[in-house]
Structure 1
Amino acid sequence: MPLVDNAVYVKGIRTPDPINLDTTHELSQERKGFAWISLYRPTEDEVQVVATEFNLHHLAVEDTLTGHQRPKLERYGDTLFIVLRPARYIDSTEQVEFGEVHLFIGPDFAITIMHAESPKLAGVRERVENSPELLARGPRAVMYAVLDQVVDDYLPVVAGLETDIDEIEDQLFGSDPTVSRRIYELSREVIAFQRATQPLQVMLSELKNMLRREEGALELKREIRDVEDHVIRVVERVDGFRTLLQNALVTHSTLIAQRQNDETRTLSETSLRQGEEVKKISSWAAILFAPTLVGAIYGMNFDHMPELDWEWGYPFSLSLMVALGGGLYLVFKRKGWL
Structure 2
Amino acid sequence: MAIVDNAVYVEGVRVADPPSLSETFEYMRAKKGMAWIGLYRPSEDELHQVAQEFGLHPLAVEDALLGHQRAKFERYGDILFIVLRPARYLDGPEEVEFGEVHLFIGPDFAITVRHAESPDLAAVRARLEASPDLLKLGPNAVLYAVLDQVVDEYSPVVHGLENDIDEIDDQLFGGESEVSRRIYELAREVMNFQRAIGPLVPMLDTLYLGFSKSEREIELRRGMRDVRDHAIKVSERADGFRTVLQNALITNSTLVTERQNEQMRELSETSITQGEQVKRISSYAAILFTPSLVTGVYGMNFTHMPELDWTLGYPLAVLLMIVLSGGLFLLFKRKGWL
TM-score (norm 2): 0.93
How far does residue 85 in structure 1 lie from its aligned partner after superposition? 1.0
How far does residue 240 in structure 1 lie from its aligned partner after superposition? 1.7
Structure 2 match to 1:36: 36
- Equivalent residue letter for 1:255: L
Deviates more, 1:185-194 or 1:116-125: 185-194
> Residue 261 in 1 paired to residue 261 in 2?
yes
Separation of aligned partners in 2, 1:245 and 1:55: 47
Separation of aligned partners in 2, 1:92 and 1:259: 32
- Equivalent residue letter for 1:164: D
- Give secondary structure in 2 for the equivalent of 1:142: helix
Separation of aligned partners in 2, 1:323 and 1:298: 17
Separation of aligned partners in 1, 2:68 and 2:301: 101
> Residue 82 in 1 paired to residue 59 in 2?
no
Separation of aligned partners in 2, 1:78 and 1:213: 19
Deviates more, 1:216-225 or 1:77-86: 216-225
Separation of aligned partners in 2, 1:212 and 1:277: 89
Separation of aligned partners in 2, 1:311 and 1:61: 121
Structure 1 match to 2:60: 60
- Equivalent residue letter for 1:152: D
Structure 2 match to 1:230: 230
Structure 2 match to 1:270: 270
- Give secondary structure in 2 for the equivalent of 1:28: helix
Structure 1 match to 2:71: 71
Structure 2 match to 1:239: 239
- Equivalent residue letter for 1:69: Q
How far does residue 219 in structure 1 lie from its aligned partner after superposition? 2.4
How far does residue 19 in structure 1 lie from its aligned partner after superposition? 4.2
How far does residue 183 in structure 1 lie from its aligned partner after superposition? 2.2
Name stretches of at least 5 consecutive residues in structure 2 with no aligned partner.
Answer: none
Structure 2 match to 1:315: 315
8 Å contact kept, 2:276–2:337: yes
> Residue 46 in 1 paired to residue 49 in 2?
no
How many residue pairs end up in the alignment? 338
Separation of aligned partners in 2, 1:165 and 1:114: 30
8 Å contact kept, 2:137–2:216: no
How far does residue 274 in structure 1 lie from its aligned partner after superposition? 0.9
Cα shift readout 1:265-300 (whole Å, capped 9, x = no counterpart): 111111111110111111111112222222222343
How far does residue 165 in structure 1 lie from its aligned partner after superposition? 1.7
- Give secondary structure in 2 for the equivalent of 1:217: helix
Separation of aligned partners in 2, 1:96 and 1:299: 86
- Give secondary structure in 2 for the equivalent of 1:15: strand
8 Å contact kept, 1:22–1:49: no
Separation of aligned partners in 2, 1:162 and 1:274: 49
How far does residue 229 in structure 1 lie from its aligned partner after superposition? 1.0
8 Å contact kept, 1:12–1:135: yes
- Equivalent residue letter for 1:101: V
Q: How does 1:1-338 map to 2 (within 5 A)?
A: 1-211=1-211, 216-338=216-338
Cα shift readout 1:91-146 (whole Å, capped 9, x = no counterpart): 12222111111111111111111111211211110101111111121110100000
Separation of aligned partners in 1, 2:281 and 2:122: 86
Separation of aligned partners in 2, 1:45 and 1:304: 117
Separation of aligned partners in 2, 1:191 and 1:84: 16
- Give secondary structure in 2 for the equivalent of 1:265: helix
- Give secondary structure in 2 for the equivalent of 1:27: helix
- Give secondary structure in 1 for the equivalent of 2:5: strand
8 Å contact kept, 1:168–1:179: yes
Identity %: 66
Cα shift readout 1:133-186 (whole Å, capped 9, x = no counterpart): 111211101000000001111111111111122222222233323222222222
Question: Does the C-alpha gap of structure 1 residues 199 and 143 become closer, same or farther in structure 2, counting only changes over 3 Å?
Answer: same
Name stretches of at least 5 consecutive residues in structure 1 with no aligned partner.
Answer: none
8 Å contact kept, 1:64–1:102: yes
- Equivalent residue letter for 1:231: A
How far does residue 331 in structure 1 lie from its aligned partner after superposition? 1.1
Deviates more, 1:80-89 or 1:46-55: 46-55
Question: Does the C-alpha gap of structure 1 residues 291 and 53 become closer, same or farther in structure 2, counting only changes over 3 Å?
Answer: same
Separation of aligned partners in 1, 2:139 and 2:263: 67
How far does residue 241 in structure 1 lie from its aligned partner after superposition? 1.7
Cα shift readout 1:284-324 (whole Å, capped 9, x = no counterpart): 11112222222222343434333334343333222212211
8 Å contact kept, 2:12–2:135: yes
Separation of aligned partners in 1, 2:94 and 2:316: 88
- Equivalent residue letter for 1:93: P
8 Å contact kept, 1:283–1:332: yes
